Amino acid sequence: MARREARLYERLEGQQVECRLCAHRCRLKAGQFGICGVRQNVEGRLYTYVYEEVIAAHVDPIEKKPFFHFLPGSEALSIATIGCNFQCPFCQNWEISQTRISEGVEGLRSSHLPVEEVVRQAKLNHCASISYTYTEPTIFFEYAYDVAKLAKEAGIRNNFVTNGFMTGEALEDIKPYLDAANVDLKFFREEKYKKICKAKLQPVLDSIKKMKELNIWVEVTTLVIPGENDSRQELQDLARFLASVDHDIPWHLSRFHPDYKYLDNQATPVETLRMARDIGREAGLNYIYVGNVWGEGEDTICPQCGALLIEREGFAVRENRIKAGHCPDCGRQIAGIF
């Protein structure tokens, strides 16, 4: 795999470097890889090995990301490379996210996909946006940045599906080209982020607030896992945080299914998701959705008059009644990019 010099790093004494893309801020000696496993210090310079090396590329409905208030009913060209800066044992894309060049790439089947070809494919497939997803886009930031810049010039929007563990510098860098982000807020306890994800909570919270400040549209997803983050208190704390940032942040409550190293865990009871939805409403959140449960909570409802605005079935939009960003019945402005 070809290497390319990274963005956002500092050269230090003794051929050391500090990566400034994600909140790990890895300090690496010559020859060392970062926690992500795809960025290496080569003789005092930081390089990425995943530039234009795609492990997955698909056309998806934007609702699959999930985005419900960002170009609803449209399609997105979704791309990903290998690598991640988290080590979540319940990851549903672990085959690609937990693959690291630092551990060898035998059997890896990535495809070279130039920046220009990504944008061409998006146009060819009539995609309204490009989604940097499946793994963590911060890990392939250089690639995402160049694609997003070219896409923006072509009138195509860009979105990140992210764990939110990037630095403020990275967000400032990508801001001119990034229209939206769905942030996976996994827990609301520092010790759980450290123990389970091998990361930290506060940088994720800081990213959500920073995105709002930069006028990047934000939606948040929480995978509700029995015995891990489904207590009433933790869900209340999480919902209150979101409401303190913006009552209009859509909160997606996703049902957990056993995967990867969590095969012995039970799926989330629907009653738990309903409880979490009620907690979100009590906190004052205007848009709450239940995911991975067919027909349970996919529709967009006007928070003022209760009118059905967007009717969904799974990832399909059956009807969208929003007119110029407003409820057609009471005139309330509906938050989002429509």
- The string of pLDDT tens digits covering residues 75-115 is 999 999 999 999 999 999 999 999 888 777 655 678 999 99
Q: Tell me what the mean pLDDT of segment 227-253 comes to.
A: 98
How far apart (Å, rounded) are the C-alpha atoms in residues 241 and 52? Answer: 37
Q: Kindly report, residue by residue over 136-193, the tens digit of the pLDDT.
A: 999 999 999 999 999 999 999 999 999 999 999 999 999 999 999 999 999 999 999 9
How far apart (Å, rounded) are the C-alpha atoms in residues 181 and 176? Answer: 13
| Rounded alpha-carbon distances, angstroms, from residue 47 to 2, 42, 73, 167, 209 | 10, 7, 38, 18, 29
CATH number for the region 54-298 comes to 3.20.20.70
List the domain boundaries for the chain. 4-48, 54-298
Q: Is residue 249 within 8 Å of 238, Cβ to Cβ?
A: no
Model's pTM, two decimal places? 0.96
